[in-house]
Structure 1
Amino acid sequence: MFAQLLETLQIQTSVASAFLIFMLPLCAIVAYSDLRGMRIPNWTVDLTGAIYIIVGLFVMPSWPDYGWQLLHLPVGLLIGFLLYAGGAVGAGDAKFVAAAAPFVDYGDLALILLIFCANLLAGFTTHRVAKYTALHKMAPDWKSWHVGAKFPMGFCLGTTLVIYLALGAFYGT
């Protein structure tokens, strides 16, 4: 199934490559900040949206594509707000998902959900293994070790976007 989704990847390689250059370091900061302090800084969310708005003007294949994908932001914000209100995610997670949503081509929705699910399982398992073994001593001051059942979702959200864009850079249309 994953191979079939890769064959039908809708994002263009040039678009994914351009976005990846800007988003890779920013997603690393999002993941690290959430692991360290259980917070996704607002400036990273703002910059994520700004990167799409500015870089997208130059790399998106057409104005309608640019506009339709930009519409993903308010839709993502609404869904994120509902999940936050229900206690399913943190506010930073909801805002980051909304800001990152325009980067995902609508035709790749099934693929991004598959990547996120696999990434969430791998990230949660990795975090819990590190938390309950001597590995957590490598970063003993991280808040994510000491918040009970809560999980730093930014770790998986940032890496999901990077994986998607990297796959798009190599396997896109």
Structure 2
Amino acid sequence: MPVAAPQLLWFLPFTLPIAIWVAWSDMKFMKIPNKAVLALLAVYLLIGLFVFPLQVWGWGWALAGSVLAVGFVATSAGLMGAGDAKFAAAMAPFFATSDSRVVLALFAACLLGAFTSHRMLRALPPFRAATADWQSWTNKDFPMGLALAGTLIFYPLLGVWLS
């Protein structure tokens, strides 16, 4: 039983501040706080019960577990950071009713946009001076939380736009 796109907007007032927090923290400290991951899971736990039918809500938790397992393997292989894997797992339940191709295409677009924006802003002296203490400017790794946060923010908006 799919959930209509407008129903997904119920999450946005709760997920938006968490996503912004994650993007900022990953750019500034190159870390995604565990508190942000737990906050996102709490949003799904509480708001998800009202938005999703119980069966879909349960499948969301199963999806979170699956993404966490894949993220653990990817982290062990050095493909992503542990915070990225945990945040992706916490995001997963919100996509329980979605077409995985749409989610992956949106993530790819967010990844390209986040990478390009990050590298362009890093090259602008006024912006760089204003954010001189951000670790992501000098770290060899990319702050994947920026792309993950974008995916979490834009997915419900895309769903409304496409419906």
Tell me the TM-score normalized by structure 1: 0.87
Q: Write the distance in 2 (CA, Å) between the matches of 1:103 and 1:145.
A: 31
**Amino acid of the residue matched to residue 17 of structure 1?**
L
* 8 Å contact from structure 2 (residues 48, 57) kept in 1: yes
Deviations 1:61-115 (A, max 9, x none): x211111122111001001101100101101000000010000035421111001
**Percent of residue pairs identical:** 39
Gaps of 5+ in 1: 1-9
Give the alignment partner of residue 93 of structure 2, picking from 91, 102, 107: 102
Give the alignment partner of residue 57 of structure 1, picking from 28, 49, 67: 49
* 8 Å contact from structure 2 (residues 114, 147) kept in 1: yes
Aligned length: 161
Residue in structure 2 matched with residue 15 of structure 1 by the alignment: 7
Q: Write the distance in 1 (CA, Å) between the matches of 2:57 and 2:26.
A: 29
Residue in structure 2 matched with residue 155 of structure 1 by the alignment: 146
Bigger relative contact order, structure 1 or 2 (CA pairs below 8 A, ≥6 apart):
1
Equivalent runs, 1:11-90 vs 2, <5 Å: 11-60=3-52, 62-90=53-81
Equivalent runs, 1:94-133 vs 2, <5 Å: 94-133=85-124
* 8 Å contact from structure 2 (residues 63, 96) kept in 1: no
Gaps of 5+ in 2: none
Q: Report SS of the residue matched to 1:65.
A: helix
* 8 Å contact from structure 1 (residues 40, 93) kept in 2: yes
Q: Write the distance in 2 (CA, Å) between the matches of 1:153 and 1:15.
A: 27
| CA pair 107-160 structure 1, distance change in 2 beyond 3 A | closer
Q: Write the distance in 2 (CA, Å) between the matches of 1:84 and 1:40.
A: 14
Q: Write the distance in 1 (CA, Å) between the matches of 2:8 and 2:161.
A: 9
Q: CA deviation at 1:171?
A: 3.5
